């Protein structure tokens, strides 16, 4: 029976909706297999301007789960098609798997951009109370899947995008118990940060933590490094969420020992969930990767993967679809 299954393998075409990249590399002579997987939801996928907001079932437009995986000690790139059982010329190394998951998706209210002959489409946002049930369905599912959700909102707080920001914040305040808010300005903007937190934990949606960051004013002129302020603002939330870590033993086929789990997720959005979201997700991925490699002893304290040219070229070319 097993042979008959193997005989039909060449005729089976694995298909998934998203993106996959597997690359072999090394840092400090330690072999790494770097994997980037983006799983795109089959619900409400669509092009820019035509797919926006949430539907009655709680599905948001263009929702993606992105997983960054690093396999340490797999010198032959087993995940890329090699034989991982022969690790480093006859000697056996301990194979470790490190993983970090993020999500992105449209602002979960009823909103749209009406395509017309104008260069910028007309933006329409329906009353927030109409979207409460749909948003609740969306976030209940997200909390069940990922644990606490940190809702990183990068839209503009003034001008055309302000109505989307306001609707998002009003939805969160309706969904969490006794919300408390705080705002912080800067020399560049009157509202650099805006956070909304529940004060009680009575229901699933009390696992939502809203963080607004004025990306446009803080990072304008391609000053992407200024987004580090957002990571600093996330503080314990970013550190405490952790990451997945398993020790596979001598080969990828052996029984694994799971030493760490990721306990929450960062859910990032801008208007299109593209450029601004890409920058922030890349920074979150980099921060976690540096932490992971320091935790297992590949990087020393204070070192950064950006300092290794070959790895940096690979990382930048692969991030963050």
Q: Long-range pairs for 45-50 at CB < 8 Å and ≥24 separation?
A: 45/17, 48/272, 48/274, 49/113, 49/115, 49/121, 50/115
Supply the pTM of this predicted model. 0.88
> At a CB cut-off of 8 Å and minimum separation 6, what does 86 contact?
76
pLDDT in tens, 202-235: 999 999 999 999 999 999 888 888 999 999 999 9
* Residue 167 and residue 125 in contact, taking contact as beta carbons nearer than 8 Å: yes
Strand 148-153 to 122-125 pairing: unpaired
- In the prediction, which pLDDT does 256 show? 81
Residue 89, in any domain of the structure: yes
Give 87's pLDDT tier (boundaries 50, 70, 90).
very low
Beta bridge partners of 196: 181, 210
Beta bridge partners of 193: 184, 213
Query: What mean pLDDT is reported for the chain?
Result: 89
Tokens 């098609």, residue? 81
Residue 255, in any domain of the structure: yes
Residue 11, in any domain of the structure: no
Query: What element of type H or E holds 70?
Result: strand 64-72
**Is a pLDDT exceeding 50 seen at residue 83?**
no
Report the alpha-carbon distance of residue 150 to residue 65 in Å, rounded.
14
Would you give the end-to-end CA distance of the chain in angstroms? Answer: 40
> At a CB cut-off of 8 Å and minimum separation 6, what does 117 contact?
none
> At a CB cut-off of 8 Å and minimum separation 6, what does 313 contact?
none
Residue 10, in any domain of the structure: no
- In the prediction, which pLDDT does 171 show? 98
User: Counting every residue, how long is the chain?
Assistant: 321
Is the peptide bond between 287 and the residue preceding it cis, with omega within 30 degrees of 0? Answer: no
Residue 101, in any domain of the structure: yes
b/e per residue, 29-40, with b = 16+ CB within 10 A?
ebbbbbbbbbbb
Cα 296-298-301 angle, rounded to 5 deg: 90
* Residue 28 and residue 298 in contact, taking contact as beta carbons nearer than 8 Å: yes
**Is a pLDDT exceeding 90 seen at residue 117?**
no
Which carries the bigger pLDDT value, residue 129 or residue 78? 129
Tell me how far the alpha carbon of residue 136 is from its chain's centroid.
20
Which residue, among 276, 279, 289, 274, has the nearest Cα to 64 in the 3D structure?
Answer: 274
Residue 209, in any domain of the structure: yes
Cα 143-246-23 angle, rounded to 5 deg: 95
Helices then strands, each counted (H, E), the chain: 8, 13
Phi, then psi, of 311 in degrees rounded to 5: -65, -40
- In the prediction, which pLDDT does 216 show? 94
* Residue 138 and residue 100 in contact, taking contact as beta carbons nearer than 8 Å: no
* Residue 103 and residue 266 in contact, taking contact as beta carbons nearer than 8 Å: yes
DSSP 250-287: TSTTSPPEEEE---EEEEEE-SSSSHHHHHHHHHHHHH
- In the prediction, which pLDDT does 149 show? 98
Looking at the structure of the chain, the number of domains it has is: 1
pLDDT in tens, 292-307: 999 999 999 999 999 9
Strand 208-213 to 148-153 pairing: parallel
Residue 9, in any domain of the structure: no
pLDDT in tens, 44-61: 887 777 889 999 999 999
Token pair listed for 175: 């969904």
**Is a pLDDT exceeding 70 seen at residue 82?**
no
- In the prediction, which pLDDT does 119 show? 81
Q: Which domain covers residue 71, as residue numbers?
A: 17-318
Token pair listed for 160: 């055309």
pLDDT in tens, 1-44: 455 567 888 888 878 889 999 999 999 989 999 999 999 998 98
Residue 214, in any domain of the structure: yes
């Amino acid at each position: 029976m097993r042979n008959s299954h193997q005989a039909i393998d060449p005729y089976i075409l694995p298909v998934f909706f998203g993106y996959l990249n597997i690359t072999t590399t090394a840092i400090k002579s330690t072999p790494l297999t770097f994997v980037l997987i983006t799983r795109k939801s089959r619900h409400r996928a669509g092009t820019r301007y035509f797919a926006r907001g949430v539907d009655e079932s709680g599905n948001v437009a263009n929702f993606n789960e992105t997983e960054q995986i690093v396999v340490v000690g797999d010198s032959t790139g087993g995940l890329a098609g090699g034989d991982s059982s022969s690790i480093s010329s006859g000697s056996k190394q301990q194979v470790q798997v490190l993983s970090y998951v993020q999500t992105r998706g449209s602002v979960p209210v009823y909103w749209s951009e009406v395509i017309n002959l104008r260069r910028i489409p007309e933006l329409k946002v329906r009353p927030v109370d109409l979207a409460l049930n749909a948003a609740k369905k969306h976030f209940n599912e997200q909390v069940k899947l990922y644990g606490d959700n940190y809702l990183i909102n990068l839209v503009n707080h003034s001008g055309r995008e302000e109505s989307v920001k306001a609707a998002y914040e009003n939805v969160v305040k309706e969904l969490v118990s006794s919300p408390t808010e705080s705002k912080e300005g800067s020399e560049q903007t009157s509202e650099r940060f805006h956070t909304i937190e529940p004060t009680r934990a009575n229901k699933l949606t009390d696992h939502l933590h809203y963080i607004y960051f004025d990306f446009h004013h803080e990072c304008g002129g391609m000053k992407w490094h200024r987004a580090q302020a957002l990571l600093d603002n996330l503080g314990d939330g970013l550190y405490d969420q952790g990451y997945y870590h398993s020790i596979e033993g001598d080969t990828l086929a052996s029984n694994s020992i799971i030493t760490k789990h990721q306990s929450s997720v960062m859910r990032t959005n801008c208007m299109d969930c593209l450029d601004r979201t890409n920058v922030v997700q890349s920074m979150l991925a980099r921060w976690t990767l540096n932490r992971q490699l320091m935790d297992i002893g590949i990087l020393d304290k204070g070192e950064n993967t950006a300092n290794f040219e070959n790895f940096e070229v690979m990382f930048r070319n692969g991030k963050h679809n």
